[in-house]
Structure 1
């Protein structure tokens, strides 16, 4: 795959230090297409849009140029905000449209505040023309300077936006055929969407957020000059995997690459299990699905060689043997500066033996949290229904604060209530 560095700086469209989390946002569109209609509506952009749709990638394309006024419509602004990725097609006359330039400014605002991924596509223009507003872009801005004499701050904002976006990694047509060019863009978009598909954490995430914040303080993500391993330990059913998924969702966008290896204990017990885990790690980080590891020791060497320059987020879930750590994340220097490795296990001494001294003990939910979780599962509300207070309190005492047990008990009571109601009335009411 040929996602090209067409920038003159090290800026990346895949990372952001924004405090907002894209993991909790419900994106309506996968892709927002920004383009100059007169240039590419009926050729390149049309073909790109069709290819995206054929891949079941939900894409917003604005076809309303003929009805445009001076300002971007609220509906279009909303579509930009609701899109996971913005693809900006720069063509020769892109900069002549003040509408397109306003659209670009809004897209870059969303990149900063909403962790939106932004990728420029340079169609029959050189990135340097966009970056420095030369040739057709220079002509367009000379006209803007004349037309908007009383709005020079706006014109400068447009210039800054063009310079900023052209410094992002993107795609340049060059001498390639358009079908090949489009195919590469589609492959990249599809890969990013797969990588950025977040985990469903829990139907009722009671007590999770406070624990997420505690582990994040241990991770100290803002320090990019170090690599840190953090362990989460606790008994079965305490919620370690749920917590690690929630943390992964909340910080994934701040890393170049990420990988979540789930159920390591079970997976490594299978034939060639560790080899398969090594292959999965490499393919997730490097974007190559081919099986490159056939020996566990060679796999360890390859992980260190290929990942030592990348700032990655790696979660190793349910580790129960030191060999699993040695072969998947032997030492901190296997990964690039700023990397964070999260390990969940029932065995704290296993963490300490591997040199993981920054740990978080996962304790059970307190009484109020336990009662809420049980009630959400049993009654779809945060407190017991009339006549069930004593049963709910018994369940809380019996569970010992284990989320898994509380969920199981709550669902069991819910099923029993459904059964009793069906016997009594002959039918089950909706939203019971």
Structure 2
């Protein structure tokens, strides 16, 4: 994520912050926004934290290209700054290069029409660049960038509005769209891609008015969790809000397990930590039905683990939301309408590759193929078994392997 008014940049939930003299937006506003984002676990660095000798321009370009969301703050003196325009053009270049980027304008004490039509204070300040002999090609890039971003739906602070409330509104908005932490952590993604693509196909993401639930079924150790993590990371950027809840049965303990589970789902979907004992099935259904939401539930074992989240009865109101449920127990889906995906076990070739990767690492010159294929036959195509056995043998000298 990037926040830019020449002062502030946020990168995928981390923030790259640089100080600039900008009296109209005010150092006070910038510092308060910085503090508010820090409180929500945005990691912030400023120009003082850059290593000595680092190219600041390169750092800014890298921050922009690695980001998913751009928050552009328009202030009364915005059009005076060459630096602001240069950053905005870089953002536009990134938006044209990557199709999953979001741009959110913030109008800070400026008239919307002044920005969109380049009139008023924006027109006056633009003229100063013409007088300064900025070439017409560069000016045109600036104009197109400002008009494009100014024409998007954004956030407004008018004179007399409470600045602290406005900052809270910005932070809440960013928390909802912040790219979640990546879930997929498989060191060797063998056999992942075909099944991941098959599940994504069944979700029918291209149908924006369609809502769907896909149930991923498979025995223990078949790689259900790994697959749904890969699916989640691949498609999460297409949704307004999301949650990935892992190992649900382990959360299903104690008298208040239902409230705890509901609270975790609501916190993930909304970015709001205020849900305590007021979490409910109805609130989850409202969020999922009123937003384009992605809900991934891993390790479901009982129907009531879905019922408490309102999944079976949620109509989703054709909101474009998607639900993915990973389970080894088909009975847990008895009240659920879903598209089924059965986990496929690894073939011998992929099993061989996965075991060798974990058992031998980079030392593949002396692979004992007969021994490995014997392991593969016993593993039965289960990824978890191959990974665990591979790590086990890796921890021992090869001379000892035949004794196990």
- Normalised TM-score (structure 2): 0.80
Aligned partners of 1:351, 1:47: CA distance in 2, in Å? 48
- Residue pairs, 1:252-271, within 5 angstroms: 252-271=236-255
Instruction: Name 2:6's counterpart in structure 1.
Output: none
Query: Using a 3 Å threshold, how does the CA distance of structure 1 residues 419 and 164 change in structure 2: closer, same or farther?
Result: farther
CA contact (8 A) 2:89 2:142 kept: yes
The superposition leaves residues 166-189 of structure 1 with CA deviations (integer Å, 9 ceiling, x where unpaired) of: 324346364356566556655665
CA contact (8 A) 2:177 2:240 kept: no
Aligned partners of 2:191, 2:312: CA distance in 1, in Å? 32
SS of match in other structure, 2:193: helix
Structure 1 residue 394 and structure 2 residue 385: aligned?
A: no
Instruction: Name 2:8's counterpart in structure 1.
Output: none
Return the structure number with greater relative CO, CA threshold 8 A, min gap 6. 1
- Residue pairs, 1:262-411, within 5 angstroms: 262-291=246-275, 299-328=280-309, 329-334=311-316, 336-348=318-330, 350-351=332-333, 354-356=336-338, 358-381=339-362, 384-386=364-366, 388-411=368-391
Structure 1 residue 103 and structure 2 residue 87: aligned?
A: yes
Aligned partners of 1:53, 1:311: CA distance in 2, in Å? 27
Aligned partners of 2:337, 2:175: CA distance in 1, in Å? 38
CA contact (8 A) 1:35 1:100 kept: no
Instruction: Name 2:51's counterpart in structure 1.
Output: none
Aligned partners of 1:122, 1:419: CA distance in 2, in Å? 69
Which segment drifts farther, 270-279 or 403-412? Answer: 270-279
Aligned partners of 1:128, 1:47: CA distance in 2, in Å? 27
The superposition leaves residues 336-372 of structure 1 with CA deviations (integer Å, 9 ceiling, x where unpaired) of: 511111111123465465221x221111111121111
Give the root-mean-square deviation of aligned CA atoms: 3.6
Aligned partners of 2:387, 2:78: CA distance in 1, in Å? 55
Query: Using a 3 Å threshold, how does the CA distance of structure 1 residues 327 and 79 change in structure 2: closer, same or farther?
Result: closer
Aligned partners of 2:321, 2:96: CA distance in 1, in Å? 22
Stretches of structure 2 lacking an aligned partner (at least 5 in a row): 4-10, 49-55
CA contact (8 A) 2:360 2:367 kept: no
Instruction: Name 1:222's counterpart in structure 2.
Output: 206
Structure 1 residue 133 and structure 2 residue 133: aligned?
A: no
CA contact (8 A) 1:312 1:335 kept: no
1:165 positional shift: 2.4
CA contact (8 A) 2:312 2:337 kept: no
Which segment drifts farther, 345-354 or 269-278? Answer: 345-354
- Residue pairs, 1:122-201, within 5 angstroms: 122-144=107-129, 151=136, 154-166=138-150, 167-170=152-155, 172=157, 174-176=159-161, 185=170, 193=178, 196-201=180-185
1:378 positional shift: 1.1
The superposition leaves residues 403-431 of structure 1 with CA deviations (integer Å, 9 ceiling, x where unpaired) of: 1100100011011129979xxxxxxxxxx
- Residue pairs, 1:34-113, within 5 angstroms: 37-39=21-23, 44-45=29-30, 48-49=33-34, 57-59=42-44, 61=46, 73-83=57-67, 85-113=69-97
Instruction: Name 1:239's counterpart in structure 2.
Output: 223
CA contact (8 A) 2:289 2:314 kept: no
Which segment drifts farther, 112-121 or 250-259? Answer: 112-121
SS of match in other structure, 2:274: coil
The superposition leaves residues 241-266 of structure 1 with CA deviations (integer Å, 9 ceiling, x where unpaired) of: 11111111111111111111222233
Aligned partners of 1:203, 1:264: CA distance in 2, in Å? 24
The superposition leaves residues 361-391 of structure 1 with CA deviations (integer Å, 9 ceiling, x where unpaired) of: 111111121111111111113x845153222
Aligned partners of 2:390, 2:200: CA distance in 1, in Å? 30
CA contact (8 A) 1:232 1:360 kept: yes
